[in-house]
Amino acid sequence: MVKIFCLLSFFSFLALLPATHLNAQENQPAFVELGENDSPFLLEREATLPFFTSKASTVVSIIQDRIEKTTIALTDLATTFESIRLRQEKVKRSLGDVTGVLLEQIEDAEKILIGHAEKLENIEETDKKYLQENKKKSTNIDVIMKTINSDNWICPVAKTVKFYDSWNEQRPRGIHRGVDIVGFHGADLYAPVDGEVVFFWDSVGGRSYKLTNENGDYYFGTHLYKFGKKSGKVKAGDVIGQLGAGGNATGPHLHFEFHPGPLGRGNGVNPYLIANRHCVDRIPMEMPLNHTDAEKREKYLFPYGNFEWD
Ligand SMILES: [Zn+2]
């Protein structure tokens, strides 16, 4: 019985999910250098997101198809529950042979429920996992796209920065699940969004912060030189620390993570795409931070980054 209700609430949640609408941008970037097949390609910074949108809409249509199937099964189940409820009301009204009617109702209800449980069990375990996994991906894609396109998102490091897409890079301590934003030692660190900031000591990264937005988005930054003066509620753009090389860092940088809500912490995605869009005072990795070659910087194309969801 409990299992049925768990399943029911999961699928109801699925059915309530709004369709993700991702409109492909019509304006193509001025210059695009395509790699082979599907490999990451280069776009100019202002380029819009045709690559994401085409991939995302494929996934969305697959998910919608699955959701439709589930919705049909659910509609059936809802009708059954309604009939049980009506019968139960009848029982309440029946002051005569209450016990007899009640037993009959319970028996009937059990039969119907077992029948429907079997029906739901027929959705294979792999399909259930598929639906769950895709619901998460679909929500993540939605949040990533919104964050990339947000006008209010602030680059977490002040002044000139440099970084590359190091998501999933093999490191001595394991797989890298963030972006390393290299900047000037002591540069201000900004809250990228409004939220609640908490400072703490991380055994690996040293001074660290976590920032949680009210929609559940979770940010983590580490290797700080100093904690910010403000903790608790902060606004986007508030100074929440200074950049350093604390913990196991080999040079001044902010190890920055993004875990989209509503799942938040533990649901890490590649933050490169977001930094790529919003950290505009950026130079190529091979240039020193205090470079003066504005022309070279102007011409440089940054890789678009890895949008990993399958
Ligand atoms: Zn890192």
| Cα 222 to ligand 1 centre (Å) | 8
Among 90, 122, 154, residue at a domain's last position: 122
Query: Does 265 score more than 60 pLDDT?
Result: yes
CB 31 within 8 A of CB 283: no
Give distance in angstroms: CA of 77 to centre of ligand 1.
48
The answer as to whether 129 is a domain residue is: no
Average pLDDT over the chain, rounded to an integer? 78
Residue 92 pLDDT greater than 90, yes or no: no
In a domain, 26, yes or no: no
CA of 220 to the centre of ligand 1 (A): 11
How many Å apart are CA 213 and CA 194, to the nearest integer?
Answer: 6
**Looking at the domain assignment, is residue 35 inside a domain?**
no
Question: Does 166 score more than 80 pLDDT?
Answer: yes
Whether 101 and 190 share a structural domain = no
Residues 117, 208, single domain; the answer is no
* pLDDT computed for residue 108 by the predictor: 75
Q: Are residues 175 and 253 in the same domain?
A: yes
pLDDT of residue 305: 81
d(CA 76, CA 67): 14
**Element of type H or E holding 106:** helix 98-121
Q: Is residue 34 a part of any domain in this protein? A: no
Tell how far the Cα of 179 is from the centroid of ligand 1, in angstroms: 6
Burial 202-221 (b: 16+ CB within 10 A, else e): beebbbbbbbbbeeebbbbb
Same domain, 277 and 178: yes
253, 206 Cβ separation under 8 angstroms = no
Domain identity same for 179 and 104: no
Rounded Cα gap, residues 220 and 268, in angstroms: 10
Of 122, 156, 182, which residue constitutes the final position of a domain? 122
- By residue range, what is the domain housing residue 88? 48-122
Ligand 1 centre distance from Cα of residue 260 (Å): 18
Expressed in angstroms and rounded, the spacing between residue 236 Cα and the centre of ligand 1 is 22
Is residue 176, in this structure, part of any structural domain at all? yes
Say how far apart CA 154 and CA 279 lie, in whole Å: 8
Cα(70) to centroid of ligand 1, in Å?
Answer: 41
CA gap 10, 254 in Å, rounded: 38
Check: CB of residue 254 under 8 Å from CB of residue 189.
yes
Same domain, 69 and 179: no
- Rounded to whole angstroms, the Cα distance separating 172 from 158 reads 28
From the CA of 180, how far away is ligand 1's center (Å)? 5
Whether 251 is in a domain gets the answer yes
Q: What's this model's pTM, rounded to 2 decimal places?
A: 0.63
Residue 29 counted as domain residue = no
CA atoms within 13 A on the CB side of 234: 25
Mean pLDDT within 78-93: 70
pLDDT at res. 45: 38
Are the C-beta atoms of residues 41 and 49 closer than 8 Å to each other? no
Domain boundary among 66, 89, 122: 122
**Are 179 and 239 in a shared domain?**
yes
pLDDT grade for 79, boundaries at 50, 70 and 90 = confident
Half-sphere exposure of 126 (CA within 13 A, CB side): 0
Q: How far is the CA of 256 from the centre of ligand 1 (A)?
A: 7
Is residue 162 domain-resident? Answer: no
Same-domain pairing of 278 and 215: yes
Query: How many domains does the structure of the chain reveal?
Result: 2
User: For residues 144 and 148, what is the distance between their CA atoms, to the nearest angstrom?
Assistant: 6
Over 90: is that where the pLDDT of 198 sits?
Answer: yes
Residue 255 predicted with pLDDT over 70: yes
Inform me whether the pLDDT recorded for 21 exceeds 50.
Answer: no
Whether 181 and 283 share a structural domain: yes
Q: What is the mean pLDDT of residues 229-247?
A: 94
Please state the rounded mean pLDDT for residues 22-40. 39
